[in-house]
Structure 1
Amino acid sequence: MIRQLAFDLPVPEAMTREDFFVAPSNALALQTVEAWQDWPGRKLLILGPEGAGKTHLARIWAALSGAAILNAHGLAEVDLAPLAGHNLVVEDADRIGPAEAQLFHLHNLATSGAALLLTARTPPRDWGLGLPDLLSRMQATQIARLEAPDDALLSAVLVKLFADRQIAVPASLISYLVSRMPRSIGAARSLVAALDARALALGRPITRALAAEILDSAGPE
């Protein structure tokens, strides 16, 4: 049997406001992001598990506010001086590591007129921060939480992820996946990527049988 080569190429994921599916698990967080001019201290921390939609909300806010997007991983190497007066996003703030001083400086920039949005998986008390002033400022920051998605949101996300890969699947397959997959958007992203890769490798369409193979091979969560 001739197997088709499958290349693990990046798939662009649409992250505009129009692509954001509103559900009970994320509606309040979206409302808070869109009301950004009312944030106390001009700061907001979005909390949620991996793949819950934090980056999508951050991109929506960046489009609204003209904010620059930074990641905590590389913040220690960023020249902050040119960012004064600009709205900013700092992703993965819970992984700030050695860049605590830079994050503290960004808080000072926020209090001088610019707005600051941060994303994290865990609350600030769990970040291992060594600067007491930074910890106190983070603990005083307004929080918007993303909760576990319901069936409707998972279904919409799966449809979107397949569409991003230009794959059409029947509604019955979406329902089957939702009934068996782990309850997170991150899991949906991984599942769609695995189905796409397996279908390409085998030269088969994405069917319920193929989905069962993927889900069974993943084992219990």
Structure 2
Amino acid sequence: MIQQMILELPHLPALGREDFLVAGCNARAAAWIDRWPEWPGNALAIYGPPGCGKSHLAEAWRSKSGGRLIGPAELTLDAVPDIAGAGAVALDRADEVQEAKALLHLLNLLRQDGGYLLSLSSVAPARWKTPLADLRSRLAAMQAVGIENPDDHLLGAVMLKMLSDRQLRAPQEVIAYLLTRMDRSFAAASALVVCLDSLTAGGRNPLTIPMARAALEHLAQSGEAGA
């Protein structure tokens, strides 16, 4: 029954820089975004686990810089001049780029023209596998900052924000109940919020501890993050 109820209901998350919750695990990444355009080598790499806030920071930076956000499939050699023409480029899932020459060409063009690159990935650029020695050297020299998994205080605050983005109110005892039983990750928080949103019918039913227990059990049985 629960499986049939779990639907990704439409919502609009708040992605402004002022909406980003800063704590010890992400403070350095947020500080580097705030330092733009004073980036060494005109490039910055932010890496970390899924759901840790990389995309939120990228959107805040894109809004500030007037830049362009692209995915790995969009980065081809033919497309590089047009992409670099934006002057500021955020590259999501940069470690999944298939055309190494295109990435090297983009880095060179942006540096030549005084542009900027914000790279987002799950691991640091120095650990990416690439056949090009020149690209390996550039990636190893790139300013890189990681985001770690959150502590209880930040994880609770993140869940409250995610729920608020969906117009859901969570009693403090429900958040406390979840924090003692869920995986310690942003991905777990996101999976739980999606599940709770569906179980409350988009906020039409109150969020309770039995409902939180049902969400944890569902995620554990389905093999998703969150329990």
After superposition, where does 1:106-145 map in structure 2 within 5 Å? 106-112=106-112, 113-145=114-146
Is the 1:67–1:87 contact (alpha carbons within 8 Å) kept by the matching residues of 2?
yes
2:97 maps to 1:96: yes
Off by >6 Å, runs of 4+ in structure 1: none
Find the aligned partners of 1:40 and 1:165 in 2 and give their Cα distance: 38
Give the whole-Å Cα distance in 2 for the aligned partners of 1:190 and 1:152: 18
2:78 and 2:210 map into 1 onto residues whose CA distance is 48
TM-score by length of 1: 0.89
Corresponding residue of 1:73: 73
The two structures, once aligned, show a CA RMSD in angstroms of: 2.4
- CA shift for structure 1 position 7: 5.1
d(CA) in 2 for partners of 1:76, 1:68 = 15
Question: Which residue of 2 is the match for residue 150 of structure 1?
Answer: 151
CA shift digits 1:79-122 (9 cap, x unpaired): 2223336111101011112x222211110122120011101101
Deviates more, 1:192-201 or 1:161-170: 192-201
Task: Tell me whether 8-17 or 207-216 shows the greater mean CA deviation.
Answer: 8-17
Distance change >3 Å, CA 179–CA 85, structure 1 → 2: same
* Contact 1:89-1:117 at 8 Å conserved across structures: yes
1:21 alignment counterpart: 21
Corresponding letter in the other structure for 1:107: L
Task: Indicate the residue corresponding to 1:37 in structure 2.
Answer: 37
Q: Which amino acid aligns with 1:133?
A: D
Which deviates more from structure 2 when the two are superposed, residues 53-62 or residues 122-131? 122-131
Unaligned stretches of 5+ in structure 1?
A: none
Query: 2:125, 2:144 within 8 Å by CA — same for their partners in 1?
Result: no
Does the alignment pair 1:62 with 2:66? no
Q: Percent identity?
A: 37
Amino acid at match of 1:168: R
Return closer, same or farther for 1:52/1:32 CA change in 2, 3 Å cut-off.
Answer: same
Number of residue-to-residue matches in the alignment: 217
1:215 equivalent in structure 2: 216
Unaligned runs of 5+ in 2: 221-225
TM value normalised by structure 2 = 0.87
For the residues of structure 1 that align with 2:169 and 2:68, how far apart are their CA atoms? 34
